[in-house]
Amino acid sequence: MSQQRTGHEAGITGRVGAVTPSAVPDFPDLPEATVARLPEYLRALHHLAETGHDTVSSEGLASAAGVNSAKLRKDLSHLGSYGTRGVGYDIEPLVGQIEYILGLNMRRAVALVGVGNLGHALAGYAGFASRGFRIAALFDADLSRVGELINGLAVRHVADIPEVVKTEGISIAVLATPAGAAQAVADQLVAAGVTSILNFAPVVLNVPEQVDVRKVDLAVELQILSFHEHRKSARNGADQNGSGARNGADQNGAEARNGAKGTTSRGRVARVIAEVNGTAVAARGEVAA
Ligand SMILES: NC(=O)c1ccc[n+]([C@@H]2O[C@H](COP(=O)([O-])OP(=O)(O)OC[C@H]3O[C@@H](n4cnc5c(N)ncnc54)[C@H](O)[C@@H]3O)[C@@H](O)[C@H]2O)c1
């Protein structure tokens, strides 16, 4: 990716409203994390516009997008958008600017390969259209699926990929085949001219450098949540051990004070261990060395 000037470096300051998509002098070289957050800002901005808002504060937009406001201001500054003190960001031009950066000011044609359980659900999802995408072609290798209509679109055989990709101007494909078929399908797509792949198959694809692949794996997301669950329970356990340790110390203290009358808990534990091991216990209640 080439190094680009940001709007700030290019002298674009002040209200977002002063910056139109055509005013972006060069294509900004955005951090990947910023790119990943832009769709969230866009979703939140669309919602704000639909509910009658013209402007939004950075705090309001950050909260609607689920990020912190310092991060949001930094992200938008990469686009040359700084908002206006006391006013915030003008929503309409900011929407235009983010859509321009994300390349959504044209509706992109997308191909979907592998129209099984997952593929059917994706092909039938109405939300892609409102987010800037048109499912332009469905492909499968199974002849019994070819010709099936999903949302008015007929499933084509994978042999038609080169022709359809060309005629429909498709550059993005969604891959929903079994893992074993995914690499060969990716090769077919790339040979046909596809340059971006959203891969649902649990396999790492080898593609040429100019091809972008994003992998979606819900099992990985669940595994990450599992880690958080594990960590929460480990911390809770540590907390309980902590209070247990404090309680233990209190009890030890009490037992030490009562030591003359009876045996300490440490002594009792030692005795049990000794009984299990068949070893002797020292007179003071300690395990014999
Ligand atoms: N990423 C995730 O979160 C997630 C979730 C569910 C499933 N998956 C993955 O998605 C893929 C599809 O899952 P599914 O449950 O829909 O499977 P499925 O078996 O129902 O569907 C797979 C489809 O791919 C077709 N196919 C097989 N080989 C092909 C080829 N060479 N070219 C074109 N089409 C071909 C089959 O005919 C079938 O229609 C699997 O790899 C699965 O592991 C991923």
Q: What is the tens place of the pLDDT at every residue in 75-115?
A: 999 998 888 888 899 999 999 999 999 999 888 999 999 99
Does residue 247 sit in the same domain as residue 211? no
DSSP letter at 136?
E
User: How many helices (H) and strands (E) in the chain?
Assistant: 10, 9
Q: Are residues 173 and 272 in the same domain?
A: no
- Asked if residue 153 is part of any domain, the answer here is yes
Concatenated DSSP letters for 158-215?
GGGHHHHHHHHT--EEEE-S-HHHHHHHHHHHHHHT--EEEE-SSSPPP--TT-EEEE
Residue 2 lies inside a defined structural domain of this protein: no
Last residue of a domain, one of 86, 101, 116: 101
Name the pTM for this structure: 0.73
* Minimum-distance ligand 1 atom for the alpha carbon of 201: 41
Task: Provide the pLDDT confidence category of residue 275 given band limits of 50, 70 and 90.
Answer: very low
Please say which residue of 101, 124, 148 terminates a domain.
101
CATH of the domain at 91: 1.10.10.10
Q: Cα 81 to chain center, whole Å? A: 24
The verdict on residue 262 lying in a domain is yes
Residues 200 and 132 in one domain: yes
In a domain, 6, yes or no: no
Ligand 1 nearest atom to the CA of residue 216, by list position: 1
> CA-to-CA distance for 117 and 105, rounded, in angstroms?
31
In terms of domains, do 20 and 81 share one?
A: yes
Confirm whether 253 is domain-assigned.
yes
The CB of 198 under 6 Å from ligand 1? The reply is: no
User: 237 and 185, same structural domain?
Assistant: no
Contact predicate 165/194, CB 8 Å: yes
Domain shared by 228 and 196, yes or no: no
Residue 240 has pLDDT above 70, yes or no: yes
Q: Is the CB of 99 under 6 A from ligand 1?
A: no
- For residue 177, pLDDT over 70 is answered with yes
Pick the residue with more confidence: 9 or 26? 26
88 lines ligand 1 (CB under 6 A): no
Name the strands in the sheet holding 212-215, side by side, starting at the edge strand that comes first in the sequence: 149-150, 153-157, 133-140, 108-113, 172-175, 196-199, 212-215
Task: Report the C-alpha gap between 174 and 176 in whole angstroms.
Answer: 6
Q: Is 116 annotated as a binding residue?
A: yes
Query: Is there an atom of ligand 1 within 6 Å of 274 CB?
Result: no
243 and 184 belong to one structural domain: no
Specify whether 32 is located in the same domain as 115: no
The per-residue pLDDT for range 10-49, each reduced to its tens digit, is 222 233 333 444 444 467 889 999 999 999 999 999 999 9
Query: Is the Cβ atom of 112 under 6 angstroms away from ligand 1?
Result: no
User: Which residue, by CA, sits nearest to atom 19 of ligand 1?
Assistant: 116
Handedness of CA 14, 17, 20, 21 (dihedral sign): positive
- Mutation choice for ligand 1 from 177, 194, 223, 225, CB with most ligand atoms inside 8 A: 177
Tokens of 29: 């070289």
| Closest C-alpha residue for ligand 1 atom 13 | 118
Q: Write out the residue range of the structural domain in which residue 191 sits.
A: 108-216
Is 286 within the bounds of a domain?
no
Q: What is the mean pLDDT of residues 161-176?
A: 98
212 and 122 in a common domain: yes
Is the same domain home to 30 and 80?
yes
Give me the pLDDT at residue 89, please: 94
Domain final position from 83, 101, 119: 101
Tell me, yes or no, whether 32 and 81 share the same domain: yes
My answer on whether 51 and 144 are in the same domain is no
Number of domains the chain is built from: 3
Output the CA 158–ligand 1 centroid distance in Å.
Answer: 14
Residues 198-225 have a mean pLDDT of 96
Domain assignment present for 284: no
* 183 belongs to a structural domain: yes
